[in-house]
């Protein structure tokens, strides 16, 4: 380690800077470090002399501003900033032309400098927990190398239309913002693979969403959606579709093209009958329909032969179809909070079942045949008027968690 490096770090430590993860190159020149500003209200100017620095993490509850001199860190590749008193970033941040990742979290930023569009090498932009941040500059459309855009837990009311210019973008997460209109610009990022817009106030999904042929994950839970566009069927790469906690009453008539769809969450909606269109999804692994208004499950549910997890808790079911026994790969079955008093005997054919939730139903007894579920590890029968649990159930070899109201 060079004498200059030692003296510089010592000087900075005397000014309230803490260091960790200090890395030197083969010439003992500082390359990476994590800088934590805890007791200082500003960053010592000596820090800007570390012109070979590649990674910098600035964390401080007392720091109020990032100095313009940050422009001097020309080698910087990763920059992380967190501070509850920071209200702005200097325009000179746009001069960090080697920057690959920029993270700004837990600040009081209300906007970003337009110069952020000059970060031509930026691949990942992370802006999280900045509740005063209500908009992004249109210059974000100049970040042509950007692959990941993480915008969770801000106060954004819209996304700029220029997002459609980001041809390398694969990931957008704008969970928990103040979006009331679906950002149509995202529908023109044709190579997009993951889109997360849960916990907003979205009322509708635009038809343009069908253009996202590469999209694998679409999360729109906890919005106020009432319906889905038929163009959803054009999203042939879709694997995850999360729509729980909305106001959806029905589904499009055709979903037959979604043959890669594996995980579908429709819990806490307004479905009054099992959507027959779901029977087209032959490769579905997990289906969540809990807390809707279903009165029955169709016998055709046995066609979903790939299903591993099924949750229909919180509906109005009085019985299960015997065809449920055809779900030979089923591992988890949740039918809690219904009006069930018995199970079809065919259910004992589910030899892979390891999780069975029968809570809050009307079971007065459990059949001894339940002892045939040899892989069962978790059984919940609490909230039922049971008098006893059969010995055959108690003797299940892998049963590690049994919940009931019996002493």
The full set of domain ranges for the chain reads: 1-63, 294-407
- For 48, 141, 166, 204, 257, the CA distances from 160, given in Å and listed in that order, are 33, 8, 11, 18, 31
What whole-number distance in Å separates Cα of residue 372 and Cα of residue 364? 19
What whole-number distance in Å separates Cα of residue 308 and Cα of residue 310? 7
Cβ neighbours of residue 290 under 8 Å, at least 6 residues apart?
A: 267, 268, 311, 312, 313, 314, 315, 334
Cβ neighbours of residue 182 under 8 Å, at least 6 residues apart?
A: 197, 202, 204, 205, 206, 209
Predicted pLDDT at 12: 75
CA trace torsion 343, 349, 355, 358 (10° rounding): 0
Predicted pLDDT at 45: 86
pLDDT digits (tens, 9 = 90+) for 73-112: 999 999 999 988 899 999 999 999 999 999 999 999 999 9
Predicted pLDDT at 3: 44
pLDDT digits (tens, 9 = 90+) for 34-68: 667 666 677 888 888 888 888 888 887 888 889 99
What is the pTM (predicted TM-score) of this model?
0.93
Predicted pLDDT at 2: 47
Best CA proximity match to 29, nearest among 57, 70, 1: 1
What whole-number distance in Å separates Cα of residue 356 and Cα of residue 333? 5
Domain 294-407 is classified in which CATH homologous superfamily? Ribonuclease Inhibitor (3.80.10.10)
Predicted pLDDT at 7: 77
Predicted pLDDT at 243: 99
CA trace torsion 202, 208, 211, 213 (10° rounding): 30
Q: Which residues of the chain have pLDDT under 70?
A: 1-6, 15-16, 20-21, 23-35, 37-40
Predicted pLDDT at 1: 37
Look up residue 377 and give its two tokens: 């590890």
């Amino acid at each position: 380690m060079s004498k200059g490096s030692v003296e510089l770090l010592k000087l900075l430590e005397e000014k309230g800077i803490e260091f960790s993860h200090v890395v030197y190159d083969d010439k003992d020149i500082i390359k990476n470090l994590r800088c934590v500003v805890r007791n200082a209200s500003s960053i010592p100017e000596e820090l800007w002399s570390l012109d070979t620095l590649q990674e910098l993490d600035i964390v401080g509850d007392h720091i109020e501003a990032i100095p313009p001199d940050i422009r001097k860190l020309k080698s910087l590749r990763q920059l992380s900033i967190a501070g509850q008193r920071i209200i702005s970033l200097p325009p000179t941040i746009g001069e960090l032309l080697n920057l690959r990742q920029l993270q700004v979290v837990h600040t009081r930023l209300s906007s970003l400098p337009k110069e952020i569009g000059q970060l031509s090498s930026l691949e990942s932009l992370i802006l999280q927990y900045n509740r005063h941040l209500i908009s992004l500059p249109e210059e974000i459309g100049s970040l042509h190398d950007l692959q990941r855009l993480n915008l969770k837990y801000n106060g954004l009311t819209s996304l700029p239309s220029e997002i459609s210019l980001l041809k390398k973008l694969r990931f957008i997460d704008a969970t928990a913002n103040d979006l009331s209109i679906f950002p149509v610009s995202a529908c023109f990022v044709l190579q997009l693979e993951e889109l997360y817009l849960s916990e907003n106030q979205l009322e509708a999904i635009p038809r343009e969403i069908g253009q996202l042929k590469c999209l694998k994950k679409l999360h729109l839970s906890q919005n106020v959606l009432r319906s889905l566009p038929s163009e959803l069927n054009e999203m042939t790469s879709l694997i995850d579709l999360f729509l729980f906690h909305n106001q959806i009453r029905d589904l499009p008539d055709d979903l037959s093209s979604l043959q890669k769809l594996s995980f579908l969450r429709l819990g806490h909606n307004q479905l009054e009958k099992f959507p027959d269109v779901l029977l087209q999804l032959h490769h579905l692994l997990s289906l969540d329909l809990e807390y809707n208004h279903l009165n029955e499950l169709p016998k055709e549910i046995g066609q979903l032969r790939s299903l591993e997890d099924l949750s229909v808790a919180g509906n109005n079911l009085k019985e299960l179809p015997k065809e449920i026994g055809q779900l030979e790969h089923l591992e988890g079955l949740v039918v809690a909070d219904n009006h069930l008093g018995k199970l079809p005997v065919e259910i004992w054919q589910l030899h892979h079942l390891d999780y069975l939730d029968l809570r809050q139903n009307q079971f007065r007894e459990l059949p001894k045949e339940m002892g045939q579920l040899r892989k069962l590890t978790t059984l919940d029968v609490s909230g039922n008027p049971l008098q006893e649990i059969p010995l055959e159930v108690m003797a299940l070899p892998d049963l590690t968690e049994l919940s009931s109201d019996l002493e």
